Amino acid sequence: MKWDGWRALLSWDAGRLVLRSRQGTPLAEAFPRVRAGAVQLPDGTALDGELVVWDESGRLAFERLQGRIQRRGAGAARLAAQWPAHFVAFDLLRLEGVDVTGLPYVERRAALERLFAERGLTAPWALCPSTTDQATVDEWLTSWTAVGVEGVIFKRLQGPYAPGVRAWKKHKARHTEDAIVGAYTGPATVPRTLLLGRYDAGGRLRFVGRTTTLPQSAGRAVAGLLTLATVHPWAGWSFSAGWGSRETLHVSLVDPQLVVEVGVDVARDSGGRWRHPARWHRARPDVAPGEVPFVE
């Protein structure tokens, strides 16, 4: 499974935990629950996995990981108590001091399963499911996406662990949804991206995401369907260029009347906002804004 969390590498040696992000950022101090749970591991162990948080509804909550890198001490402990993190292990790199990265994945996987079974590992540790059964994969891509699993990762059964090499293949679960255009970036004659919204139950237009760059033909076509707004529920708002970015977008607000269909994945925050840019499919002038499902 492809989890909606932070990829992390972990090693446990002589009572010392090293936990780093894919970019090498130290994470151990920010996740005291994982650090405390390391005593369950045999000495000389290294794992590849994902740090994840589940919300109260049982859905993966990526936004609960945001800001944790800066937290230490009491602040990190409070977040750990409120939103416990788990380390979902999907590969074994070293066991009791023995480097196993040269072994085929099928052997590393078997050793990882034995590690969990023989040591009786419990939270914060979780074993990532792995299968070669297509029916099981189909089930993950339908039922499990409802709780935030983004898709699946494919690995060759006989492949070694190759750090820094893109030897795995990724498949994200995607579907299309309708949303209302509230603003755009770029020139009025050929909008570059669209900022999308949905109404909530209180009648407020909530920002839910932005599209990827539109094809020029789509930009020209949608330009004729947009009307600049004089009064707008998003007036005075600022919009980030992307998740975690400090760059502010220059946007033009439009009358929120045009509905468009876009392709999205399952990664979203608790407010229903899409975390990744949506892919353009088509304009839906046949659909009224009131027909678009409410955002929760």
> Which residue among 2, 155, 169, 172 is the active-site one?
2
Last residue of a domain, one of 110, 144, 172: 172
What would the DSSP string read from start to end of the chain? -B-SSEEEEEEEETTEEEEEETT--B-GGG-HHHHHHGGGSPSSEEEEEEEEEB-TTS-B-GGGTTTGGG--HHHHHHHHHHS-EEEEEEEEEEETTEE-TTS-HHHHHHHHHHHHHHHT--TTEEEPP----HHHHHHHHHTGGGGT--EEEE--TTPPP-TTS--SEEEE-EEEEEEEEEEEES-SSS-SEEEEEEE-TTS-EEEEEEBPPPPHHHHHHHHTT--B-SS-TTTT---BSSTT--PBP--EEB-TT-EEEEEEES-B-TTS-BSSPBEEEEE-TTS-GGGSPPP-
Q: Give the pLDDT confidence of 169-192 residue by residue, as tens digits.
A: 888 777 788 999 999 999 999 999
Considering the domain architecture, whether residues 198 and 74 belong to the same structural domain is answered as: no
- Is the pLDDT assigned to residue 259 strictly greater than 70? yes
C-alpha distance from residue 260 to each of 173, 178, 219, 241 (Å)? 20, 6, 12, 21
Range 238-259 average pLDDT: 86
For CA atoms 67, 3, 61, 207, the dihedral sign is: positive
**115 within some domain:** yes
Considering the domain architecture, whether residues 84 and 124 belong to the same structural domain is answered as: yes
Q: 203: exposed, middle or buried (C-beta count within 10 Å: 0-12, 13-18, 19+)?
A: exposed
Catalytic residue check, 2: yes
Residues 6+ apart with CB under 8 A from 135: none
Residues 6+ apart with CB under 8 A from 50: 3, 5, 6, 7, 8, 87, 88, 90, 128
Q: Which two tokens stand for residue 233?
A: 């529920």
**233 within some domain:** yes
Considering the domain architecture, whether residues 125 and 249 belong to the same structural domain is answered as: no
Considering the domain architecture, whether residues 180 and 144 belong to the same structural domain is answered as: no
Total domains in the chain come to 2
CB 181 within 8 A of CB 260: yes
C-alpha distance from residue 145 to each of 1, 110, 153, 202, 279 (Å)? 10, 26, 14, 27, 18
Gap between the Cα atoms of 46 and 32, Å rounded:
18
Q: How confident is the model at residue 270 (pLDDT cuts 50, 70, 90)?
A: low
Considering the domain architecture, whether residues 13 and 122 belong to the same structural domain is answered as: yes
Query: 132-146, 232-246, 248-262: which range is least confident on average?
Result: 232-246
**136 within some domain:** yes
Residues 6+ apart with CB under 8 A from 113: 127
Considering the domain architecture, whether residues 110 and 203 belong to the same structural domain is answered as: no
Considering the domain architecture, whether residues 117 and 166 belong to the same structural domain is answered as: yes
Considering the domain architecture, whether residues 151 and 206 belong to the same structural domain is answered as: no
How many other β-carbons are positioned within 10 Å of the β-carbon of residue 3?
A: 22
**296 within some domain:** no
Q: Give the pLDDT confidence of 112-155 residue by residue, as tens digits.
A: 999 999 999 999 999 999 999 999 998 988 888 778 788 899 99
Considering the domain architecture, whether residues 20 and 128 belong to the same structural domain is answered as: yes
Give the residues across from 207 on adjacent strands: 197
Residue 256 belongs to domain with CATH number: 2.40.50.140
Considering the domain architecture, whether residues 159 and 61 belong to the same structural domain is answered as: yes
Residues 6+ apart with CB under 8 A from 86: 51, 52, 53, 54, 123, 124, 125, 126
C-alpha distance from residue 292 to each of 130, 185, 201, 233 (Å)? 37, 22, 12, 17
Last residue of a domain, one of 172, 196, 213: 172
Q: Give the pLDDT confidence of 42-83 residue by residue, as tens digits.
A: 999 999 999 999 888 788 887 788 768 778 889 889 988 888
Last residue of a domain, one of 117, 144, 172: 172
Considering the domain architecture, whether residues 34 and 152 belong to the same structural domain is answered as: yes
Residue 119 lies in domain: 6-172
Residue 100 belongs to domain with CATH number: 3.30.470.30
Gap between the Cα atoms of 26 and 171, Å rounded:
28
Considering the domain architecture, whether residues 74 and 181 belong to the same structural domain is answered as: no
Q: Give the pLDDT confidence of 85-108 residue by residue, as tens digits.
A: 999 999 999 999 999 999 999 999
Please give the mean pLDDT across all residues of the chain.
91
- Is the pLDDT assigned to residue 36 strictly greater than 70? yes
